[in-house]
Amino acid sequence: MARPVLIAPSILSADFARLAEEVAALEQAGADFLHIDVMDGHFVPNLTIGPPIVAALRKVTKLPLDVHLMITNADAFIAEFADAGADYLTVHVEACPHLHRTVQSIKERGVKAGVTLNPATSLNTIEEILPDVDLVLIMSVNPGFGGQTFIASCLQKTASARAMIDRTGSRALLEVDGGVKIDNAAQVLAAGADVLVAGSAIFSTRDYAATIAAMRAAGQPSSTTPLRVSAHR
């Protein structure tokens, strides 16, 4: 049975001067999550938003808030983002020396916990934590800026992550973020992704609903054939 295709527009590419309107449009267009990129200017070379924006978004939408913490000291801000209304908090394995403790801290606050890896980080780094997480995020660009080009080798990494999740019996969603567009969505979904994060691919179009529908339709069996899995990296 085919897995449902979930679409998570990244508000990094939205018009922040009319953010509430943008979110309402995404709801009407059929988005499944709102993906919120939090950057600290240290772990990644960009500075974006903090808990007040998450809290503001929580007031105007019922969509799950998928908060991606691209920050050096995630542990210091978990409580603030949880209180702001995050439904998912995803942390980078590269930035969390005590990953199990961080994941447990997220879950103790009633928030779903995710882990993410940069393109050059091996899947081996999440194997031990996999039973404890609700989401695995594969970065298909080096994080920091929207509008980057998808790194093709991340397709195989996504397929290997899918195999690892299935082999261990984990119920974690598999999400892919970075350079995902209509023309490569079928490949990403064939590799095993459950959730597609898309920023400029959605917000650069006039018809959000048509773009989201096209990305979701890319998951139909006729779109492409599954990517063959090799041993994980």
User: What is the distance between the alpha carbons of residues 174 and 64, in angstroms, rounded to a whole number?
Assistant: 16
Neighbour-count burial for 61-87, b at 16+ CB within 10 Å, e otherwise: bebbbbbbbbbeebbebbeebbebbbb
66 in active site: no
**Catalytic residue (choose from 37, 40, 66, 134):** 37
**Catalytic residue check, 37:** yes
**How far apart are the C-alpha atoms of 33 and 87, rounded to whole Å?**
10
144 secondary structure, DSSP code: T
d(CA 1, CA 125): 30
Report helix, strand or coil for 221: coil
Active-site residue identified among 40, 134, 177, 194:
177
Pairing between strand 6-9 and 195-198? parallel
**Coil, strand or helix at 143:** coil
Catalytic site residues? Answer: 37, 177
